Structure formats: structure tokens, C-alpha cells
Amino acid sequence: MKRCGAVLLAAIALAGCAKPRTPGVYDLTVGEAYQRLVENELKDLVYARQCGILIHVSPEGLANNQVVWHVRSSGQEVLQFTALLTPVGDKQTKVDIQIPPGPDGKEAYSHDQFYTRPAFNQPLRPAIDEQIAAILEGRPFDVSQIGAPTDSVCNAQRGGLETGARFRVDDKPGEGGY
């Protein structure tokens, strides 16, 4: 019995010595990570953060080490963001997400920017990070990891959908949808 207790204590001690995961680094080659991302339209992210305008997200692969997602609504691109893939050793990949500046010069959809017809609820980066992690770790998207949405215009648009209103990215302020 004492031996079992000693083995259990040793196992617990060794579990605490496990190498911590570096944020943004995944146990996949660049090729494996690229393949998983370039085939993904980020449906969980869209479901969790989409506002009242209809958006379409399409991935585009570049040079086997970048994936750009184009977000379009009403025939126009409203946002794009990129995952840059860098090898870390032979079997790991670091993923850096690039999001262009929004209207106020800070990262688009960072947390408090104003959009007349927003495509995504803010902040967007935590949702992108979680979606990428879920894809590359082979697990379900976890909405509890992205925090509460903060965009009041987006929240109003999402509420409007429930009452039958339809919004377009090119609506003018004061128009209540179509």
C-alpha cells in the first residue's frame, strides 16, 4: 500500500514538471497547420461573433505559410486577417495573427471602435485566437474563452434579426434594415 502511495506522489510531482505550452505554438508541422487552416471557413467564430449583416468568410493560402481570411458582405470586403506560420523546430509551428487597423488606427474590431454596420462583435482577436487554437489542437471551439461581446451596435443588429430586420453593410445610418 505504501508503494502505491509513493508511486501516486511521484506521478503527481512529475505532472507538475510537464513543459508548459507556449501561447501560439502548436504541435504540428507548418504543412499540417497550413492544411488545417486553409480549408477552414471559421464557422464557429462567425457564429459566435457575427453581427446582423450577412458575412461570408473565405480562406486563401499564400506560399504554404500564410492563410488570409477574406470577410465579405454585400459583395464587398469588410475585413481580412492573416495567420503567419513559422516553424519552431521540426514538429511545431508558431502562429501569429495579423489584423489590420480599424477606423481609429487601432487593430480592427479591437474593442471599442465604431462601425455603422459592424461585421463582428468586439473584441474580435480573442475569438480568432480561440478559433485557430481549436482548429490546430483538434478540439471544439470554446466560446467561454473569448469573453463577453462589447459592441452595442452589433448587439442591436443581432437583436433585430430576431424580429425580422435585415441589414446590409452599405445601409446608411438611420435605415432600419431592409
User: pLDDT value at position 170?
Assistant: 65
DSSP character at residue 9:
H
Q: CB-based burial of residue 114 (10 Å sphere; 0-12 exposed, 13-18 middle, 19+ buried)?
A: exposed
**Thinking of the domain 23-162, which architecture would CATH place it in?**
2-Layer Sandwich (3.30)
Residue 121 corresponds to which cell in the numbers above?
Answer: 462583435
User: pLDDT value at position 112?
Assistant: 83
Q: How far apart are CA 39 and CA 122, in angstroms?
A: 25
Whether pTM exceeds 0.75: yes
Q: Are the CB atoms for 144 and 113 separated by under 8 Å?
A: no
User: pLDDT value at position 121?
Assistant: 92
Residue 132 corresponds to which cell in the numbers above?
Answer: 485557430
Angle at 43 between CA 24 and CA 84, to 5 degrees: 30
Mean pLDDT by 10 residues, the chain (178 residues): 48 46 91 97 94 91 96 93 96 97 92 88 95 97 91 79 68 51
**H/E run at residue 133:** helix 125-137
